């Protein structure tokens, strides 16, 4: 019996991507194996190739997770994820978005509690890398506005945050761990104290994604500013922020492109 094209495509995909990988005799009839392979063996070759390509994609995205877990555990974890969350698109750049949530409920996260946080960082990094970027604010042009400097110094300003800027606070030093991997990829273990909180802003002011570490006070201040509060109102709700730190934060927001406008009204 001849199977129509749409049915063939659907069943072929299910046979290589979705457990229990069933296939009909009609599908096998349409398969043309290479060399001496049987039709069933040819399907298995496709299945193995599919698994390998998606595992490779996950490894490229979640390089730090791979580094932490090692080959054997990461490959098995990837296999479990791929079987549960098969690819729904030809664009592999979008594959693996739900990997952090998969890790969050996985038994490995009981043993290694920072896996979810680290994987979130890696997905945000990948997503931001493929976006246009967050060009720095032209602060010089703002100075030409009437009374801007006086309003700026009074604190009665608010910031319009760039939609692609990412603000992260984690109970674990995930940025330091990721940075350690990038600087020493052959290193097999970390001496980092994994109970240290870390906050940072991620933005893309140029061709590359940049990280801007923040103290807990500056993270809280940035969070309030991101909600639309004026600088004065945000400072009123937070203790312990020094004047020098405020200037440092504003410099980060402007240079990183974390904000795309400074509002005086």
Nearest to 157 by CA among 223, 231, 225: 231
Q: Which residue has the tokens 């692609």?
A: 164
pLDDT along the chain (265 residues), means of 10: 59 60 59 65 72 92 94 95 86 90 96 96 96 83 65 80 95 94 72 87 95 96 95 90 89 92 80
In a domain, 78, yes or no: yes
Range(s) of the domain holding residue 23 = 1-130
Check residue 242 and give its pLDDT: 87
Q: Which two tokens stand for residue 81?
A: 């994820």
Check residue 248 and give its pLDDT: 92
> How many domains would you assign to the chain?
1
In a domain, 247, yes or no: no
In a domain, 35, yes or no: yes
In b/e form, how buried is each residue of 166-185, taking b as 16+ CB within 10 angstroms?
Answer: bbbebebbbbbbbebbeeee
In a domain, 141, yes or no: no
Check residue 52 and give its pLDDT: 87
Q: Which two tokens stand for residue 108?
A: 């490995």
Question: Is 13 exposed, middle or buried (CB count within 10 Å of its CB: 0-12, 13-18, 19+)?
Answer: middle
Question: Is 198 exposed, middle or buried (CB count within 10 Å of its CB: 0-12, 13-18, 19+)?
Answer: buried
Distances (CA, A) of 93 to 36, 43, 117: 35, 25, 20
Check residue 195 and give its pLDDT: 86
Check residue 92 and give its pLDDT: 80
In a domain, 21, yes or no: yes
Q: What whole-number distance in Å separates Cα of residue 194 and Cα of residue 27? A: 52
In a domain, 180, yes or no: no
Q: What whole-number distance in Å separates Cα of residue 203 and Cα of residue 125? A: 9
């Amino acid at each position: 019996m001849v199977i129509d094209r749409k049915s063939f495509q659907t069943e072929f995909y299910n046979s290589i991507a979705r457990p229990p990988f069933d296939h009909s005799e009609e599908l096998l009839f349409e398969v043309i194996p290479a060399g001496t392979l049987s039709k069933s063996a040819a399907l298995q070759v496709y299945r193995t190739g599919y698994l390998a390509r998606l595992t490779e994609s996950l490894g490229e995205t979640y390089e730090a997770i791979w580094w932490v877990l090692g080959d054997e555990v990461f490959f098995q974890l990837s296999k479990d994820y791929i079987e549960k969350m098969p690819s729904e698109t030809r664009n592999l750049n979008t594959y693996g978005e739900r990997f952090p949530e998969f890790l969050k409920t996985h038994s490995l996260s009981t043993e290694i509690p920072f896996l979810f946080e680290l994987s979130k960082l890696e997905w945000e990094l990948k997503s931001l890398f493929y976006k246009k970027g967050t060009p720095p604010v032209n602060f010089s042009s703002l100075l030409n506005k009437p009374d801007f400097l006086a309003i700026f110094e009074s604190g009665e300003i608010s910031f319009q945050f760039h939609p692609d800027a990412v603000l992260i606070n984690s109970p674990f030093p995930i940025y330091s761990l990721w940075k350690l991997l990038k600087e020493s990829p052959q290193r097999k273990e970390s001496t980092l104290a994994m109970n240290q909180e870390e906050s940072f802003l991620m933005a893309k002011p140029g061709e590359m994604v940049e990280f801007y570490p923040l103290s807990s006070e500056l993270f809280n201040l940035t969070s309030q500013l991101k909600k639309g509060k004026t600088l004065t109102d945000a400072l009123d709700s937070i203790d312990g922020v020094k004047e020098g730190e405020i200037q440092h934060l504003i410099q980060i927001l402007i240079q990183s492109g974390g904000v795309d406008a400074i509002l005086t009204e």
